[in-house]
Chain A
Amino acid sequence: MLASVSLFAQATGNSWDLPANIAFGIISVIAIGAALRMVTTNNVVHSALYLLIVLASVAAVYILLGAEFAAATQVLVYIGAILVLLLFGVMLTRARLGGDEDLNYEQRWIGLGVSVLLFVVMTYSIWEQYGTKDEARLVGYEPQRTAEVADSIFSTYIVPFEAVSVLLLAALIGAVVVARRD
């Protein structure tokens, strides 16, 4: 956290990308705060709504990176479909809509230790590899337009694309078969 704050201060020192850095700071604070509340709140529906905030912030990060089609898909698929599906899951499993004390394991310190350890290792390796080196700068990048994405999907990545469509069909049939009352 301290490393990211100092990195942020250092990065905002350059006036040419100050607005983007301010936007990134606001978005990341919102995303991290909502994610923390999402994994700690004792209410299932609140957890889903905090997940909505995180997903919207991630869409904003995509916009900031110039990936417009990924941002639109994020809003359509994640916020529009997956979140509604998760809320249906909450409803169908008759979760208690008020607070619920035993949503978490008692041994949460082990989980906390594992994730903090993972975070330290990942931060160290990212910082070692990229840090504030000059080659890690994102300088004057162009937005990646939807037309380029479409060209790429339907030429270079046509085989994975077809595989994903078959996978979606298989998952749809599988979900119907598994959840059907017989």
Chain B
Amino acid sequence: MYLTQYLLLAAVLFCIGVYGVLTRRNGVLVLMSIELILNAVNINMVAFGTYNADVGGQVFALFIIAVAAAEVGVGLAIVLLIYRNRRSIDVSDASLMRG
């Protein structure tokens, strides 16, 4: 087993998540892609924690999971608010603050 395997898996998942964030119009799907990105980062954290025989990696992965839970709660609240005001969750419709 090499550390590289885990890092490459995380890189693939991260890039798929970035693709999802860039190409999806639906606000909920954008949030799902962000979850994918956070998971890829978590794989890196746990892999380096195991590699260095340090519990810190796992602890920071737990912190990231907690922050992701907070993020998805606030994000969904914002998406619901956009839906309520505009009857659509297309993120390109939410251009009120465009200069």
| A residues adjacent to B (C-beta < 8 A) | 3-4, 7-8, 11, 17, 20-21, 24, 28, 31-32, 35-36, 38-39, 44, 47-48, 51, 54-55, 58, 61-62, 65-67, 69-70, 73-74, 77-78, 81-82, 85-86, 88-90, 92-95, 100, 102-105, 108, 110-112, 114-116, 118-119, 122-123, 126-127, 130-132, 136-139, 141-142, 144, 148-149, 152-153, 156-157, 160-161, 164, 167-168, 170-172, 174-176, 178-179
Interface of B is mostly: helix
A22 to chain B, nearest CB (A): 11
A20 to B6, CA, bound (A): 12
Question: Do most interface residues of chain A lie in helix, strand or loop, or is the interface mixed?
Answer: helix
With both chains docked as a complex, state the minimum distance between the C-beta of B27 and any C-beta of chain A, in angstroms.
7
Which are the 3 A-B pairs with shortest beta-carbon distances?
A111-B22, A171-B70, A39-B20
Bound state CA distance, A62 and B9, in angstroms?
13
In the assembly, what is the distance between CA of A156 and CA of B57, in Å?
13
Whether the Cβ atoms of A58 and B8 lie closer than 8 Å is no
B94 interfacial contact with A, CB 8 Å:
no
CB–CB B26/A65 < 8 A: no
| B23 and A92 form a contact (CB under 8 A) | no
Task: Given the known inter-chain contacts A38-B36, A123-B8, please indicate yes or no for A21 contacting B1, CB distance below 8 A.
Answer: yes
A153 touches B22 (CB 8 A): no
- A residues in contact with B80, CB < 8 Å: 89, 92-93, 179
Residue in chain B with minimal CB distance to A107: B23
CB neighbours of B22 from chain A (8 A): 105, 108, 110-111, 114-115
Q: How far is the CA of A47 from the CA of B31 in the complex (A)?
A: 11
Q: How many angstroms between the C-alpha atoms of A102 and B89 in the bound complex?
A: 12
